[in-house]
Amino acid sequence: MQHPLIDAVAADADEFVALRRDLHRHPELGFEEFRTSDLVAERLAQWGYAVERGLGGTGVVGQLRRGDGAKRLGLRADMDALPIMEATGLPHASRTHGVMHACGHDGHTAMLLAAAHHLATQCEFNGTLNVIFQPAEEGRGGARKMLEDGLFTKYPCDAIFAMHNMPGHPQGRLLLRDGAAWASSDDVTITLEGTGGHGAMPHRAVDPVVAGASIVMGLQTIVSRNIDPLHMAVVTVGAFQAGSANNVIPQTATLKLSVRALDRGVRDTLERRITELVQLQASSYGVHATVDYQRLFPVLVNTCAETAFARQVATELVGAERVELQASALACSEDFSFMLEHVPGCYLLIGNGDGSKTEGNGGHGACMLHNANYDFNDQNLPIGAAYWILLTQRFLP
């Protein structure tokens, strides 16, 4: 038997499916979610939320207080789309050339709005509910921007929760993980400065290409020799740019790296070793190296008590057989991790479907997030929204 809350939300499903598809039709890139944030703010205000706009540029926070409870809860959804040309051919496909909701953030926004509506109109709870609609999750640090604009100073939360849809898992399955769940992500740009010269007279030049090639090979030893084999780490050299002619030794070479870890200590070791190794290898070739190490997203760490609580809510809602209590960690990154550095909480995944690749448009679950054929599974709307509602009622009883 399905949980009555899922049925209750499903009664309004038409409205919120239409809203989700409207968002899908009108995707907006990070920090440009003008139409989306207008829509979110208008709805929240209609339903009685105190609404603040402008946190993190296009972010929206809605606050609803009930009773005299002192506890404060934060629920977060992201609103931005990606620079991808949609290929689904669906009736609700993007109307904006080259921009697409290929990560299902349209679904996240719709699920949290459906829950916000239900909580305001049909539910009792005791305490303060903050619904946080974040801009620019896709690599542009919208969460950090909201924090810089005083998100948790203005809206203190005792715990914060978020969710992401995920293809390749049965539709509606809820996946949780205690501890480190999503990896940190750092970008490194290495510039090697040698002395350009004639390809026939290498002894009169200082070759940054040879130094760079040696550095690429040396970097491979960091994960294999400096990191505990029981820990995860990735050092990928995604770009190596130098020179343009056979017979010219170039003046400079550039390497671009993506670096990931699931542990804060491992992340520190990677930064230290990459910097040391590049400097020492470069100087052994007489080349000058500059290392620009940019820490982008921290490791996403779900806290113990809040994960236990979220597991209870998930199990109560969909039954133990549809909950994965300790799912695998992922090497992807997610900027909800910035919020979890300030407030304890838990990030959960909801299965978007595990359909086969032979279904039309790839089918739900067949193609990955960020694929031009991706679409959020609307059957998840009542489940995701009911999870938010039950979680709020249990957290603010």
Chain residues binding Zn ion by CB under 5 A are: 103
| Sequence-separated (6 or more) residues with CB below 8 Å from residue 279 | 289, 291
Nearer to Zn ion, 336 or 395 (CB): 336
From 282, 280, 266, select the one nearest 223 (Cα to Cα): 266
Rounded to an integer, what distance in angstroms lies between the CA atom of residue 12 and that of residue 73? 24
Nearer to Zn ion, 30 or 212 (CB): 30
* DSSP per-residue letters across 5-36: HHHHHHTTHHHHHHHHHHHHHS---TT--HHH
Least distance in angstroms from the C-beta of 379 to Zn ion: 19
Nearer to Zn ion, 108 or 173 (CB): 108
Least distance in angstroms from the C-beta of 50 to Zn ion: 27
Least distance in angstroms from the C-beta of 247 to Zn ion: 44
Beta bridge partners of 351: 166
What is the DSSP-derived secondary structure letter of residue 223?
I
Nearer to Zn ion, 76 or 273 (CB): 76
Least distance in angstroms from the C-beta of 286 to Zn ion: 43
Least distance in angstroms from the C-beta of 98 to Zn ion: 16
Least distance in angstroms from the C-beta of 7 to Zn ion: 28
- Helix (H) / strand (E) element for 54: namely strand 50-55
From 136, 143, 131, select the one nearest 79 (Cα to Cα): 136
In Å, what is the CA distance from 152 to each residue of 303, 307, 348, 384?
17, 20, 21, 24
Nearer to Zn ion, 94 or 128 (CB): 94
Least distance in angstroms from the C-beta of 369 to Zn ion: 5
Rounded to an integer, what distance in angstroms lies between the CA atom of residue 136 and that of residue 159? 22
Nearer to Zn ion, 103 or 188 (CB): 103
Least distance in angstroms from the C-beta of 30 to Zn ion: 11
Nearer to Zn ion, 103 or 383 (CB): 103
In Å, what is the CA distance from 6 to each residue of 1, 42, 203?
11, 25, 74
Residue type, 145: K
Least distance in angstroms from the C-beta of 159 to Zn ion: 21
Rounded to an integer, what distance in angstroms lies between the CA atom of residue 193 and that of residue 260? 26
380 within 8 A of 6, measured Cβ to Cβ:
no
Q: CB burial class (10 A; 0-12, 13-18, 19+) of residue 46?
A: exposed
Nearer to Zn ion, 107 or 250 (CB): 107
Nearer to Zn ion, 61 or 103 (CB): 103
87 within 8 A of 143, measured Cβ to Cβ:
no
Residue type, 93: A
- Helix (H) / strand (E) element for 382: namely helix 381-395
Whose CB is nearest to Zn ion? 103
